[in-house]
């Protein structure tokens, strides 16, 4: 049978309900389909002897130009699968999907990977439409850590996108799907091939000058833009127009974002690779150093807006702001002290505040939007509108104190991104 036809048939061939690793003798039970791509499918997998749960990546076995790798005594892996197994099996990092082994049968190659029960960032964005800046800082820190680990080992991912970032039960972000990953050569570039997802391709890749570590950094800029605005930065009617916009670094200006977020996006999406920040210095950008980053995210943030715990030294200050609103605004402000879970004289923690999501969304207490915006966006916003002598003016005094405490730079203004505006990167 012709190799390409055999490969297509193996793509469609069913995967057995029970699989046996011929090397270890372990038997696994295949569960539900949890994802699929152009060249692979992914299932939930359970070890019958230990009940350990994995993600099973199934890749067609056949193809022209079979490689020399021989997993468990089998032969005939295509070069791309061989490269993926070789690279991924040697990686150990908390922000990279763990590789637990592989085996093969006549039709398929099976890779046992870490199971991430919270699915991917693509699922999160589909449910949420956009994410807040504190969430984006949280996710980017993990992605930068994992990507830095790859680049230190001279590996470029070449297909960074939301559907390849997975979340485990603890909401830790993991870089996965290394099917297009490759080692960079002595000049810091891979072969000059056009591969990846069009919306995330760097200008040098579109121009067929090859992938590099800086190409992955460009993709981070596209990802940051997309999760904050809900759309990719380079949308166009045709692929050729999109590629031209990518070469020019021309995208709609996200005017509703904080100044620090806009500046970092512009740095990451610099058309000249040499002008993009390195991963070594990326976390020193003002977007990270002058904004709130949560230590972890609650699981419900996969589908709804999270309410962040307030870090010190803002706890006491927010308690004063909350008390001010409680005393002067009607209906009462939803900011209330947490119930103490341990011994306490008055049953409250003066440094811990909480408010229900329903209260935040449904109440329209004057002046309340300011601290709420700080909680959700990690930036300060003030609205001069309001009657003179109203509680809003009292809130403005507290906000000025917060500005002195945080010193985040210019306040972020709430605005709608202009549909016709275009941002042209300036060197």
Residues making up the binding site for ATP: 57
d(CA 259, CA 415): 12
Cα distances (angstroms) measured from residue 196 to each of 177, 190, 202, 244, 341? 12, 13, 10, 17, 50
Q: Is 341 exposed, middle or buried (0-12, 13-18, 19+ CB in 10 A)?
A: exposed
Catalytic residue among 21, 107, 159, 285: 159
3-state secondary structure of 292: coil
Cα distances (angstroms) measured from residue 358 to each of 178, 307, 329, 361? 41, 11, 18, 5
Write out the H or E segment, with its range, that includes residue 152: helix 133-152
DSSP 334-368: S-EEEEPSS--SSSEEEEEEE--HHHHHH---TTT
- The phi, psi pair for 413, rounded to 5°, reads -95, 140
Question: 126: how many CB neighbours lie within 10 A of its CB?
Answer: 12
Q: How many Cα atoms within 13 Å fall on the side-chain side of residue 393?
A: 5
Structure-token pair, residue 416: 């709608």
Is 159 catalytic? The answer is: yes
Q: How many helices (H) and strands (E) does the chain have?
A: 14, 14
Positions at the binding site = 57
3-state secondary structure of 107: coil
Q: Are 315 and 405 within 8 A, CB to CB?
A: no
Q: Are 130 and 288 within 8 A, CB to CB?
A: no
Cα distances (angstroms) measured from residue 355 to each of 66, 358, 360, 375, 402? 59, 9, 7, 10, 19
d(CA 220, CA 142): 12
Residues identified as active-site: 159
């Amino acid at each position: 049978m012709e190799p390409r036809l055999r490969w297509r048939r193996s793509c469609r061939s069913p995967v057995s309900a029970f699989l046996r690793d011929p090397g270890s003798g372990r038997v696994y039970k295949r569960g539900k389909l949890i994802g699929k791509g152009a060249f692979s499918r992914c299932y939930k997998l359970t070890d019958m002897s230990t009940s350990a749960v994995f993600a099973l990546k199934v890749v067609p076995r056949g193809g022209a130009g079979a490689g020399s790798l021989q997993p468990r005594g089998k032969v005939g892996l295509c070069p791309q699968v061989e490269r993926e197994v070789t690279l991924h099996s040697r990686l150990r990092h908390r922000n990279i999907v763990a590789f637990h082994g592989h085996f093969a049968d006549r039709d398929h190659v099976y890779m046992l990977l870490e199971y991430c029960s919270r699915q991917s960032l693509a699922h999160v964005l589909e449910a949420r439409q956009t994410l807040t800046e504190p969430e984006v800082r949280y996710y980017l820190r993990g992605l930068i850590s994992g990507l830095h680990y790859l680049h230190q080992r001279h590996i470029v991912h070449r297909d960074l996108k939301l559907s390849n970032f997975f979340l485990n039960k603890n909401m830790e972000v993991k870089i996965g799907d290394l099917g297009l990953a490759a080692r960079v050569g002595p000049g810091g570039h891979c072969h000059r091939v056009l591969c990846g997802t069009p919306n995330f391709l760097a200008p040098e890749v579109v121009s067929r000058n090859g992938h590099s570590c800086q190409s992955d950094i460009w993709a981070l800029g596209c990802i940051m833009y997309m999760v904050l605005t809900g759309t990719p930065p380079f949308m166009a009617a045709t692929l050729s127009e999109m590629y031209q916009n990518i070469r020019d670094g021309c995208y709609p200006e996200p005017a509703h974002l904080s100044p620090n977020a806009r500046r970092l996006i512009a740095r990451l999406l610099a058309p000249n690779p040499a002008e993009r920040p390195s991963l070594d210095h990326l976390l020193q950008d003002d977007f990270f150093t002058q904004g709130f980053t949560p230590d972890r995210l609650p699981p419900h943030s996969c589908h709804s807006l999270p309410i962040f715990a307030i870090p010190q030294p803002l706890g006491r200050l927010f308690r004063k702001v909350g008390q001010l609103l409680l005393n002067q605004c009607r209906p009462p402000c939803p900011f209330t002290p947490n119930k103490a879970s341990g011994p306490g004289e008055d049953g409250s923690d003066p440094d811990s505040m909480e408010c229900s999501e329903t209260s935040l969304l449904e109440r329209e207490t004057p002046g309340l939007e300011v601290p709420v915006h700080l909680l959700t966006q990690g930036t300060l916003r003030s609205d001069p509108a309001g009657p003179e002598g109203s509680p809003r003016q009292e809130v403005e005094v507290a906000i000025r104190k917060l500005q002195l405490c945080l010193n985040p730079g210019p306040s972020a203004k709430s605005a709608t991104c202009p549909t016709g505006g275009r941002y042209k990167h300036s060197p």
